[in-house]
Structures are given as C-alpha cells and as structure tokens.
Amino acid sequence: MSSVSLKTEFAGIKLNSPIMTASGTFGFGEEFEDFADFSTLGAIVVKGTTLEPRNGNRGIRIAETPAGMLNCIGLENPGVQFLVNEILPRIGKYNCPIIVNISGNTVEEYGELAKILDIDGVKAIELNVSCPNVKEGGIAFGVEPKSMVAVIKAAKKNTGKPVIIKLSPNVTDIAVMAKAAENAGADAVSLINTLIGMAIDINTCKPVLGNITGGLSGPAVKPVALRMVWQVRKAISLPIIGMGGIMNAQDAIEFFLAGADAVAIGTANFVEPDSTVKIYRDLKKYLEQKNLTDIRDLIGKLRT
Amino acid sequence: MSSVSLKTEFAGIKLNSPIMTASGTFGFGEEFEDFADFSTLGAIVVKGTTLEPRNGNRGIRIAETPAGMLNCIGLENPGVQFLVNEILPRIGKYNCPIIVNISGNTVEEYGELAKILDIDGVKAIELNVSCPNVKEGGIAFGVEPKSMVAVIKAAKKNTGKPVIIKLSPNVTDIAVMAKAAENAGADAVSLINTLIGMAIDINTCKPVLGNITGGLSGPAVKPVALRMVWQVRKAISLPIIGMGGIMNAQDAIEFFLAGADAVAIGTANFVEPDSTVKIYRDLKKYLEQKNLTDIRDLIGKLRT
Amino acid sequence: MTLHKHFLADGVIKRHEKIGTNDVYLLDINISANTEKFAAGQFVQLQVPDGEILLRRPLSIADAAGSNLILIYRVIGKGTKRLAKTSVGQKVSIMGPLGNGFDLACKKPLLVGGGLGIAPLLLLAKRFAGKADILMGCKNAEEMDWPLPLFKNIVKNTFITTDDGSMGMRGFVSEYLPEILTAESYDKIFVCGPEIMMRSSAEVAVRHGIICEVSLEKRMACGLGACLSCTIETKCGRKKVCKDGPVFESREVFF
Amino acid sequence: MTLHKHFLADGVIKRHEKIGTNDVYLLDINISANTEKFAAGQFVQLQVPDGEILLRRPLSIADAAGSNLILIYRVIGKGTKRLAKTSVGQKVSIMGPLGNGFDLACKKPLLVGGGLGIAPLLLLAKRFAGKADILMGCKNAEEMDWPLPLFKNIVKNTFITTDDGSMGMRGFVSEYLPEILTAESYDKIFVCGPEIMMRSSAEVAVRHGIICEVSLEKRMACGLGACLSCTIETKCGRKKVCKDGPVFESREVFF
Ligand SMILES: Cc1cc2nc3c(=O)[nH]c(=O)nc-3n(C[C@H](O)[C@H](O)[C@H](O)COP(=O)(O)OP(=O)(O)OC[C@H]3O[C@@H](n4cnc5c(N)ncnc54)[C@H](O)[C@@H]3O)c2cc1C
Ligand SMILES: Cc1cc2nc3c(=O)[nH]c(=O)nc-3n(C[C@H](O)[C@H](O)[C@H](O)COP(=O)(O)OP(=O)(O)OC[C@H]3O[C@@H](n4cnc5c(N)ncnc54)[C@H](O)[C@@H]3O)c2cc1C
Ligand SMILES: Cc1cc2nc3c(=O)[nH]c(=O)nc-3n(C[C@H](O)[C@H](O)[C@H](O)COP(=O)(O)O)c2cc1C
Ligand SMILES: Cc1cc2nc3c(=O)[nH]c(=O)nc-3n(C[C@H](O)[C@H](O)[C@H](O)COP(=O)(O)O)c2cc1C
Ligand code: FES
Ligand code: FES
C-alpha cells in the first residue's frame, strides 16, 4: 500500500490526480474506455466545442514529423447542443470531472457557449483562443492580449464555473499573455496549444495537409512547452495546466517542477492509449522514491 | 555526367550551390575539413562574432531532446579582431564565400562590427538579433521590429557588403518582422534561429542547461521553420536562407519549395559531418529525376 | 459483424519475411490472446519498434488463428521501411482489433482486391470457408506473386487482371467485373484496394443491383474514433473510418 | 602523441556483450580501417543505431587492433540504453579517432582509473607494452569484475581500492596514491575517472612532483571543435575538450 497521494485541487475542483487529458486527443473519454482508468484521471478535457456543429478541414488532416505530428482537424465537432444533450449525460458515469474546451468566432459566441455550459456535469470551461486551424475566429484571440481579455471577460460574465484560458505558444512573450489573462479574471491557464507548422510532399510539390499549415504537438515541442510553463509560473499566480509532448511520468514531472499544477496528456494517447494510467503509476513511484507523499510537494520545486 | 546545375546567386553573391552552413554549427569550416567538400558549399557562415572575445555560458551547454537539441553556448568566440587577423586568412584557401554572423550588445556595436568586416574575404554579414542566450543584447533586437530595424540600418550604413538579417522564430508574426527588415534595407533574410526551450533533470530537480533555457534546433523544429519560410516568402521579395532541422536533401527540397533561395545546414553537421556533401549529391539526383536542370526551377514552386 | 473489446499487447514476431518481389512483407505475430473472433476487415494499430516512429500504423488483419495475427504490408514510407527491419523475436506493440469488419451475410460472395487491398480479403475468404470467388487486380504478373499462393485453397474461383496483361485479363478489375457479375449470380461483392478501383467497382456492382462493401483508408492517429483524423463525409453524415469503418456499404460513401 | 585524419565509417558489430555485473558492455566493431595508430586516450563519436537518438555519443577507444575497435561503456541514459540493444552484425556509424590522446613519453608510468574511466587505460597499458602499473578504484568488488581480467596480462602491478573495502584497500584511489608514489618511483601518472577523483589524484601527483595527465569528460555535439559545447577554462585560455583534449596536463586544467 502506497501512502503517496496524487489527489489535488485545481481552481477549486477536487481531482483524483493532476493528470488530465488534452482537448482533441481523447475524444469524449468514451473512446478510451478500454484503456484508461477514469479513477486515475484528474479531468477529461473534451474536444473543442463550438456553437454550431462543424465539419472541420478537408483533405489530409494529420502528418507525422520528427518526434511530433501536425494536425489540422479544424475543430470538427457536433456542436454544443449535441454535447449537452447527448454526450455529457453519457460520460457522466465516469465520475470524472469534465472540462469543456470551447471555441468561438466572436467574443459573444464565447459568452454564449459559457452560458450554455454553466450546467451540472461541467466542472470548468477551457477557452481555446489559439487553435491555429480555423480561419474565422480562434487564432486572432490568442496572440493579442486585448482580444484575449475580451474573450475571458465574456466567458466569466456568463458562467459560475472556473474559466481556464488556453494560451497559444505562437507569441513573442507568453508571460505578457498570461498576465493579461490573470488581470482579466481567468481562474487558471493551460499551455501550450500547438505550434504552427507545415510539411511538404516533395513528390507532388504540395503541402501534406489539406489546410497547408497545422498544429505541431508531441515530444518535439516539449522543450518549448516546458520553458513557457516555467516563464508563466514566474509571471502569474494562477494555477497552470501544463502540456505539450508529455509522453511519460518523467516528462510530467519536468512540468510539475517547472510549475504546472496539473498536466494534460495529448499526443501520447495516440501512441499508447493507456498513457495516462502509466503516468499515474510511475508518478506515484517517483514520489515514493523521493520520499514525498503529496504531489503538491513537487510543484514549482525547480532549483535554479 | 549530370547536366544539373546547383550554381546560383544569392543577394548578388555567386554560389557553387544553395547549400550553406548554419552559424555556430560548422565552426570556421576548418573543423570539418576531413568531411566537407568546400566546392559543393554555397557559403560558410561562421560562428557568431562579437567585438570583444566572449567566454560564453557556464555549466552544461547542450542537452538532447526528442529529435532535437538545446544549446546555450552563449556566443563564445574569439572576437572580431582575432577573426579578421587569424582566422579569415586561414580559411580563405577554401575558395568558399565566407559570411560572418555578428552579434552586438548595442546598435552601435553592430555598426562597428559591420565596418570592421567590410573587407576582402568576407562576402556578406549576417546579423544575429535572435540569439536567445545572451542576456545583454541579442534577444531584444530580434523580437521587436523597431530595434531590429535600427540594427539593420546601422549595419547597412557601415558596409558595402550584403546584409542578411537572421530572424528569430520566437515572435508572434514572423511576416511582420520580415517586412520591417525589407523596408529597413536588408539585402536578405535568414530563418530560423533557434526556438527557446528548456530541459529539467528530474533527479536533481535542476535545469539541465547552465543557462536554464537554451535554443532548440534539429528535426524537431523543421515543421515550424518550414512554415515560417513559407510565410515570409509570401510577405517579402528579398532572398531567403531557410534553415531549421534540415537533415537531408528531402528536407532541403521542402525548404526550396516553400520559397528558400538557399538553405543552411546546422545540427545535421553534428549528426553526419558530411551532411552537406550528401545533400548536394541527393539534391542533384532529385532535380534529375524531376527533369529540372537548374535549382532555381524549384524555388517557391509549392503548389497550394 | 462482431465487435470486440480492444486489446493492447506486446506481440512477439514469429515470422517476418518478404513474400512479394516488390517489397511486400508478411508479419506473423503472437499476441497471446485469442484472435479467432476477429472479424475480417478489422485492422490493428501497430507500433513500429525502436522509437523513431511516433504514430502507430494501421494494418489490416490478413489472417488470424489461435493467438497469432498475420499482417501483410508493403513498404511505402518511413514507418513501413523501418518495420521491415524488425526481426523475429522482437516485440511489437499491437492495439486492436479496430473497426467494424465486413458483414458476412450473403449467399454467393465475390471478393475484389487490388494491390495490398488483397490482404484483408484473405481472412474474409477463410471466413467464407471456401465458398467465395476472388477477382484480383495488380499492375503486372510480378505483383501477383504473393497473393496467388495465399488464396490457392481458400477460394473457389480466382479471376485475375493485370494492368499490362502479363497475367490474366489485361486491364482494371472494374472492366472485367461486369462480365463476371453477368456470368455468375453473386449477391454481394467485397472490395478492397485503391480508392479509384473501389469506386469504379462499386459503380458496376450498383448497376448490377448487387450490394457492395468497400474498405476505406485514411490517415489515422488514434484508431479509436477520438482524434477525428479520419473523418469522411457519408450519405448518413460524417463518419470515422477507424471506428464506423473501415468497411462501408458503397452507396453510403460513394455518392 | 599522434594525430590522425578522421574517418567516418559504418562499422559492423562483431561482438557485443555484457562484461560487468552493473550494466557494463563491451562492443567490438570492425571499421575496415587500420586502427593501429590510434592513440590511447582518443575517442570516437558513435551514432546510436535505429534513428531515435540524434546526437552521437563520445566513447573512448578501449582497444584497437587490426581494423577492430573495442569500446567499453556503461548504460547511463537514453543513448547507452538503446546502444545496449544493438546486436552483432548491425552497422554502427563511427567517427574518429578524435582528440589528442595521452602523451606516452615517460619511463615508469602509473595508470590510475576509476569506474568507466578505466576503459581508455586498457589501450594505454598495451601501448606501454607491459611496463605500466595500474591503480584501479571502484565502488565495490562487484564493479571490479570487468577490468580485472582485461588488465591481467598487460600491466606489471595492479593496485586496487574499493570504496567499501570489499576488495583491495578500502577508500578512494587518491588516499592510497601517496603510498604507491612513495614506494615506487613513477615519473608520470595517467588518470581517468570521475572529475573529483582526477582532481584529488592530480593534487597528490603534483605534491610528489610527478607529471599527471587527466582525461576530461564534457557533453559534446560535434566532437570536432566546431560547436563549443565542450569548452573549458584552462591556465592557457579556453580549450575544447574534444579537440585540445580530452587529455590535459593536470596543472593546465585543475588550478
Ligand atoms: C484501415 C487501414 C488498413 C490498412 N491495411 C493495410 C495493409 O493491410 N497492408 C498495407 O500494406 N497497408 C495497409 N494500410 C495502409 C498503411 O497504413 C500505410 O501504407 C502505412 O501507414 C504507411 O506508413 P509509412 O510510414 O510507411 O508511410 P508514410 O507515407 O511515411 O506515412 C506517413 C503517414 O501517413 C500515413 N499513411 C500513409 N499511407 C497511408 C495509407 N494508405 N492509409 C492510411 N494512412 C497512410 C501513415 O500511417 C503515417 O501516419 C492500411 C491503412 C488503413 C487506414
Ligand atoms: C571523451 C569522452 C570519452 C568517454 N568515454 C567513455 C567510455 O569509454 N565509456 C563510457 O561508458 N563512457 C564514456 N564517456 C561518457 C559517455 O559519453 C556517456 O556516458 C554517454 O554519452 C551517456 O549517454 P546516454 O545517452 O546514455 O546518457 P544521457 O544522460 O541520456 O545523455 C544525455 C546527453 O549527455 C551526454 N552525456 C551524458 N553523460 C556524459 C558524460 N559523462 N560525458 C560526456 N557526455 C555525457 C550524452 O552524450 C548526451 O548528449 C566518455 C565521454 C567523453 C566526453
Ligand atoms: C489531433 C489534435 C486535436 C486537437 N484539438 C484541440 C482542440 O479541439 N482544442 C484545443 O484547445 N486543443 C486541441 N489540440 C491541442 C492539444 O490539446 C494540446 O494542447 C497539444 O496537442 C499539445 O499537447 P501534446 O503535445 O501532448 O499533444 C489538439 C491536438 C491534437 C494533436
Ligand atoms: C550549437 C549551436 C550554436 C549556434 N550558434 C549560433 C550563432 O552563433 N549565431 C547564430 O545566428 N545562430 C547560431 N545557431 C543557430 C543555427 O545557426 C541555426 O539557426 C539553428 O540551429 C537552426 O538550424 P538547425 O536546426 O539546422 O540546427 C547555433 C545553433 C547551434 C545548434
Ligand atoms: S484515427 Fe482518430 S478518429 Fe479515426
Ligand atoms: S564537441 Fe563541439 S567543440 Fe567540442
């Protein structure tokens, strides 16, 4: 019997562990039923949701890159009403906090979405202001403090739930964005979303992806993500969900040390569908080895 | 006998091929004498040079990351006078254009360096305004158009040589920077310098690198670099040196298609010291297969 | 159509050999799990060993017996090139069985395969216990070297086309198909191969009033219906090839 | 001290086996090039096969004969862990010989090695053709399992220390060193091992007025003096371990 506890609290939400899933990589949880153990998950962050259903991008949607992948899914989703009516009731049975990742074309849409999702079965909302794949909306909000602030305020005004802002790494100074988010009243930040990248097929001389560019994720981006978490940790005092290339407990621990209060697992779910379970197990082992009993003893403990 | 020509011109400089070496990864060329074939190289871009000799950063200076590496060399170099008096005369024998990469603490220093290097034996200067490792200087110039413009102007005023500005990828909008550079009178741009990243040793709970953060290079960054070259190609008409994770001819071709007029090989030199030779050979083969006779028929030919 | 709970296992390579002149390999993997109920048309997500390749690769179940899985693949790019280097005894992580598989309900089936699309038809032919006919199309006689022996005793009649006429009929399967469908009263055809070949074959089938199932290919990340890499537009809305497919009734996807 | 032009070659693994209880491996590689003139103390940059590991790994030349190179390494992290999985017959890219190597000029040499630092002393002992003595230090008797047999017939006297006293003298080599230096009139000592051990040994040597060469370790990218990953501060200015070293006269680097 291990006396190590991974239980924690994030923005007022009680979590079984600080291990969450990254939006868009874990569906609605159900898809991973055979591999995940929902009692070890801190939260399921579901696929990016919009007011209306969306078809996403045409053509090829993923490409593998060295130690990473590009995606241009383009926010395909069944729309918020379907989520509320059909999916949330279904996944409630996991007894795992559900965080809904939302995306809007306008500031008002974020507000509207926040209002619709201010219901039981939703523990928090995560604002995706950085998805690089959708021409209207998305991108603009995430790289410019003013519009990001407007989005946060619109969301806050319309919900009693914690509002998590997901920061884009495609900015000159992530700390500036984080501070703006803190001042705007966000309850937490998550970072990073994907870096914008591209791949070319030299046989056809065409871009590999249907949308030309896509979002880079996976181990390749980990050094950048880790650096940004560390920068943001120094800049603000809001809780942080760290993500970007976390494949195993070692990676997760690096994020905790850098200052993440929770981590989210993304691309790793595609590589090992039981990644979250393994990370939970190995994280416990690490704490035991280090004679720590509480995951919170690790957070921000980087010695510089 | 191949009728394919890799000869080209870049910012008025005649090149044997569009394959250059990336500053800081190829020393002064001499170090690679046993492996490189200088007649296949377009230019040697030598290590970042400053007015005074510099010792660089303390502690561990490199770390391997998934498909990439972090470095925090910190611009160690023997100073511009040593370069001019000792090194340039020595490496003149290669008959390969020498481009000197320079870094200053102030705008004036860039001007001074440009003036000192306005000599035979130097074909062009490359302004490093993006090295993320030096606390004073470097970083600030590369992420803010106004100071970058000042640096370019200072250099241009002091030299008759082509001035290449090396863009930092750590910005929100690389096209904005490129346009500012074009307007300021730069003769060419090169991109990308390294992305800022970090690595943590979970046993010691300390950063791996002596300088805490370092510059990420290698295959991991290629998708980002390629996207930026493509973005910049659309934004300006200056010639571009594309770099970032080019390991083989296929990678190089992707950069040419995206719009690079020349490419620079960096981290690959550490992996295969004869990378540039192999890329030269395989690039020729590709052109033959595609029934192209001139490398310039490839440049910017991405079909979107 | 049987759906099973997915397994994730480190299989052990029992056999790995080149079976075709043109870089086609057979991989026999012991997964220490009963594979008897895996449906023909289902696939696995195989992890290319040795760490360089990030994403899993989807490969059809070509055969399944006891606790062994047979996969047949062609070297296409980075992943399969590296896979071809793995040796007997090595471990390889396998996740599956994924997708729906073919619906066997029919009396007189015709299997139609092109290139590597022939692979999943092997298990399908077995499930039909000898009562199926097969029409195989390849570029040339050389490309027929691997499927011919494999199908020898598990189908009734074998029809062959090659693009260059070096074996069997000259031309595409879809050109030969009307003749076959007229000569014999098949009530269902199962097509797997390049999309253009599936489209044209499906068209012929529909013209002959015969139900046609096709097996689609799309780039996949998760293989579980979560990432939406593989979504397609169907007559009945958007579907995921990995989960709702890869097998679809042709009229649902080609319209 | 002989300096050679570098080669870059795909060596073929001829032997690869665990020689120590604690994850120490011996790698015998045929590089189809004459290795006879490689200097003791030089190293190679070895590419870990299979593509996952980007940078080469520096490993000392433990032995060189004919066209074969012997490397002895301990599994430390990602790269050596993966290296340990390569099998006989596999190709491995080797670049070398790099660095300066030890300066053999002396009459009565004492080799001093700690842990894996003992590896390069093997070739050094051979170059001294039996006239060298060796002082080896390890954590415990178990750690002595691989070096003992290797040095058996190529040195005169062997002195041993273990941290826990389970073999030879109890303690660090530097504690035993004064005694040895007093008993016998060595005119040069060659030290390779953990930095702290080299520092303290060098101090003893200097106190006894004996020249001491040490072999340093620093993280390396290029191994050619180009990237400046491995620069150190010396009495004579900044030097590169990969090119100006790895061997230095102790007073040049420990001051
Ligand atoms: C359900 C399904 C079953 C399949 N069954 C077989 C089979 O039995 N035998 C066989 O040889 N091939 C089969 N394929 C195709 C096989 O997945 C690809 O040939 C393989 O993924 C190529 O990988 P690569 O790394 O060599 O090529 P690369 O071109 O380097 O791969 C780059 C990326 O594109 C993807 N990709 C490339 N080609 C295809 C393709 N045709 N379909 C889907 N993704 C692709 C890869 O998975 C990878 O993510 C199947 C595909 C699907 C979707
Ligand atoms: C000139 C020289 C000769 C060496 N000779 C030997 C030898 O004969 N036998 C042996 O077992 N080891 C030797 N080493 C140390 C050996 O290079 C490291 O143990 C090895 O690189 C560890 O790689 P890894 O991927 O397993 O470890 P990781 O810790 O995962 O490596 C991460 C990075 O750090 C570098 N690194 C880690 N430890 C060291 C180290 N001690 N020195 C230099 N770089 C390091 C790696 O090369 C890599 O770039 C030598 C080092 C140098 C510089
Ligand atoms: C296929 C895919 C789809 C994604 N969809 C979303 C999304 O809908 N909303 C969002 O905020 N982030 C989305 N992301 C980004 C991830 O949530 C995460 O921020 C990113 O992938 C970095 O983490 P990783 O490297 O662990 O994957 C997506 C990522 C991938 C790979
Ligand atoms: C060890 C090292 C040292 C570098 N030093 C410099 C430098 O002095 N000046 C500079 O402009 N860029 C420097 N760079 C950046 C490279 O020139 C190049 O822009 C970057 O590494 C991306 O290319 P790559 O992925 O091919 O290495 C350095 C990179 C590395 C890895
Ligand atoms: S592959 Fe992920 S949804 Fe189909
Ligand atoms: S390793 Fe590159 S200079 Fe020494």
Domain boundaries, chain A: 8-56+73-195+216-297
CB contact under 8 A, C226 and A56: no
State the pLDDT at residue C60: 98
State the pLDDT at residue A39: 96
Q: Which two tokens stand for residue C236?
A: 């009945």
Contact B179, A203 (CB under 8 A): no
Which of D6, D228, D239 to mutate for ligand 6's pocket (most ligand atoms within 8 Å of CB)? Answer: D228
Complex ipTM value: 0.96
pLDDT tens-digit profile of B264-274?
999 999 999 99
pLDDT tens-digit profile of D145-170?
999 999 999 999 999 999 999 999 99
Question: Could you identify the atom of ligand 6 that is nearest to the CA of residue D223?
Answer: 1
What's the CA gap between D110 and D157, in Å, rounded? 9
The total number of structural domains in chain C stands at 2
State the pLDDT at residue D4: 45
Are both D89 and D114 inside the same structural domain? no
Are both D123 and D209 inside the same structural domain? yes
pLDDT tens-digit profile of B37-73?
999 999 999 999 999 999 999 999 999 999 999 999 9
Q: For chains B and D, count residue pairs whose Cβ atoms are closer than 8 Å.
A: 85
The mean pLDDT value for C177-204 works out to 94
Are both C118 and C76 inside the same structural domain? no
State the pLDDT at residue A134: 47
State the pLDDT at residue B140: 65
Question: What DSSP string describes C4-31?
Answer: ---EEEEEEEEEEEEEETTTEEEEEEE-
Q: Is the pLDDT of residue C3 over 50?
A: no
Tell me B1's DSSP state.
Answer: -
Are both C36 and C129 inside the same structural domain? no
Are both D54 and D117 inside the same structural domain? no
Residue D58: asked if its preceding bond is cis (omega within 30°), the reply is: no
φ/ψ of D221, rounded to 5, equals -105, -65
D33: containing domain: 7-98
Smallest Cα–Cα separation from C96: which of A276, A35, A247?
Answer: A35
Positions of chain A with pLDDT lower than 50, given as ranges: 1, 132-138
State the pLDDT at residue D32: 85
State the pLDDT at residue A130: 73
CB contact under 8 A, B67 and A70: no
pLDDT tens-digit profile of B1-30?
468 889 999 999 999 999 999 999 999 999
Contact C230, C242 (CB under 8 A): yes
Are both C86 and C156 inside the same structural domain? no
Nearest C-alpha of chain B: how many angstroms from A95?
Answer: 32
Q: Which element (helix H / strand E) includes B91?
A: helix B88-91
Q: Which two tokens stand for residue D240?
A: 């590169």
Cross-chain CB nearest to A227 (options B198, B204, B205)? B198
Are both D38 and D77 inside the same structural domain? yes
The mean pLDDT value for C27-41 works out to 93
pTM, two decimal places: 0.96
> Tell me, which fold does domain A8-56+73-195+216-297 have in CATH?
TIM Barrel (3.20.20)
Are both C153 and C208 inside the same structural domain? yes
Subunit partners of chain C (3 or more CB pairs within 8 A):
A, D
Nearest C-alpha of chain B: how many angstroms from D178?
Answer: 32
Position D12 in a domain: yes
Are both D30 and D81 inside the same structural domain? yes
H helices of chain C, in order, are: 78-83, 119-127, 147-151, 173-183, 195-207, 250-253
State the pLDDT at residue D165: 92
Position C42 in a domain: yes
Q: Is the pLDDT of residue C242 over 80?
A: yes
State the pLDDT at residue B131: 55
Q: What is the pLDDT along chain B (304 residues), one digit of tens a residue?
A: 468 889 999 999 999 999 999 999 999 999 999 999 999 999 999 999 999 999 999 999 999 999 999 999 999 999 999 999 999 999 999 999 999 999 998 899 999 999 999 999 999 999 999 754 444 444 568 888 998 999 999 999 999 999 999 999 999 999 999 999 999 999 999 999 999 999 999 999 999 999 999 999 999 999 999 999 999 999 999 999 999 999 999 999 999 999 999 999 999 999 999 999 999 999 999 999 999 999 999 999 999 9
The mean pLDDT value for C17-45 works out to 94
Q: What's the pLDDT band for D255 if we cut at 50, 70, 90?
A: confident
Q: What is the percentage of chain D residues whose pLDDT exceeds 90?
A: 90
CATH of the domain at C92: 2.40.30.10
Interface probe, candidates C52, C54, C86, C87, chain D, greatest D C-beta count within 10 A: C52
Residue B219: asked if its preceding bond is cis (omega within 30°), the reply is: no
Contact C255, C235 (CB under 8 A): yes
CATH of the domain at C203: 3.40.50.80
